[in-house]
Structure 1
């Protein structure tokens, strides 16, 4: 019943029907006439499914507006934001209440073209440099999923990109890797307290119920949505959060218990106060999943992701599980 409830809420929330139709490149050529399907790293096309919305049915944001932290009154203190701090620029917060409905924000920060991305079905929030071989790409949402993870596309070449790994999987950019930039999820209250002079993305002008979670109860399900791959090893539940650094994954519950761990050249900290964006209907009321920071020996923030265990196992099947003991 919980999965049925989730699917119904998702369909209503997006205003679009859901389809589990399997991938068929010959069919997709009509939808994607400019995509070169002859170039691909996808060996099994049945891994790619339609998530329901068509191409751009989930509209990416371009050049979003920002307002001073002191002017923001809508966001609850516990709501998650993706924080991006680039030298030469005022720190910026990208609220998950907006990225839940748009998934990609194409922005420019201190002269660096970036794509701030969030895949709700994998809880994957990653920031990419949009420059590839001297060309600045802009990204949209394809409407396709692979291992339940968003497949992005670039508007310049219509190539498809896997969000969780930042790599081209279909088209002329197959095999090309986007540079990931250090960013992290924290609560709005944490960002505001640390950056009183910071900026926060303004509410987009789309007719969406921002602040409401269309994936209500998702991170309490026993299985992920539209995923048919192997489940994680070691008895790890598929929808628990893990911290990925490279090809290693630390269960967040282990970090919650420890508070701080230094392993494999990084120090990872956990602090309470951040709500899950995928739990209750009102994001600010979600269960406490805590804020993770990952730093190197010099104290610099390290590229990482906090995604569900099933997604880590799907994209890093030979990855190392940092279970302790």
Structure 2
């Protein structure tokens, strides 16, 4: 199914009305909702059923030099952990699957992407000594994907990596360093790296954008919360580190910012995955790296401003000084 901006906005209005009076816990008999840490009235159907967006397990990885389908400006989510070749997870696949359960050496990871919040995060899948695997519930809260683990059917909020209902309510997933960059940038930095190959067995128009024009629309899908403060557009991108957010517009202007114990650098050359009909033709939104004082990559997210405000209402906005 190809979603246009008009269809997204139309669904938003229809689903918002339909969601009133519908029990979001229906169809989840194995999830203990008495443990919920959030107001379940904030949860709405995203328009697809449980597993309607199929998460992937143990994806095929191929050498970067053998990849011929990706175009240079296409965004990939890079995972470069010590002791293992760097891996690139193209958004042309994550857009349609949203979760990839993978192993990097002995480390089980979940590579996640919520297009509606532009939130791309990598998590350690180990919780309390158990390795979890994740699927897409089909539900949203503040327009952000609610994941579920297949072992206990607990619900997890992707943007914060936290269990919100079920056995693991209140548990937190450890976020790992990962960053969005262009395919050209990845293969230049990691010529011996690996890239996720096109998934087999799915009829998806990989490389096409089902959310055409979304990141230049006026309001997010199925979101009824507050506007971000300081006059920031709801769908403006911000770089979140902990409970602090730097507007991407500021970083693009300044090029590099060193404050609050981190250094954030911006470079041109990466296409938006939520703009043009073909991902490779999306407008240039650039790419960032976030490092600590020792030059090590640290966990962060590049999300929409409305999502940062929704999940960190007391968060700190790092505006121009």
Shift of 1:110: 1.6
Which SS does the other structure have where 1:219 is aligned? Answer: helix
TM-score by length of 1: 0.94
> Is structure 2 residue 220 aligned with structure 1 residue 224?
yes
> Is structure 2 residue 273 aligned with structure 1 residue 277?
yes
CA distance in 1 between counterparts of 2:186 and 2:159 reads: 24
CA distance in 1 between counterparts of 2:187 and 2:295 reads: 21
> Is structure 2 residue 191 aligned with structure 1 residue 196?
yes
Contact 2:163 2:169 in 1 (8 A): yes
> Is structure 2 residue 161 aligned with structure 1 residue 158?
no
TM-score by length of 2: 0.95
Shift of 1:189: 0.3
In structure 2, list runs of 5 or more residues that go unmatched: none
> Is structure 2 residue 6 aligned with structure 1 residue 22?
no
Contact 2:238 2:247 in 1 (8 A): yes
Alignment of 1:308-319 (within 5 A): 308-319=304-315
> Is structure 2 residue 163 aligned with structure 1 residue 172?
no
Partner deviation per Cα, 1:123-164 (whole Å, 9 max, x = no partner): 000000000010000000000000000000000000000000
Which SS does the other structure have where 2:33 is aligned? Answer: coil
RMSD, aligned α-carbons: 1.7
Which SS does the other structure have where 1:46 is aligned? Answer: helix
> Is structure 2 residue 55 aligned with structure 1 residue 66?
no
In structure 1, list runs of 5 or more residues that go unmatched: 13-17
CA distance in 2 between counterparts of 1:59 and 1:24 reads: 27
Structure 2 counterpart of 1:291, from 267, 287, 304: 287
CA distance in 1 between counterparts of 2:132 and 2:278 reads: 34
Partner residue, 2:5: 6
CA distance in 1 between counterparts of 2:150 and 2:51 reads: 11
CA distance in 2 between counterparts of 1:248 and 1:156 reads: 33
Shift of 1:42: 1.3
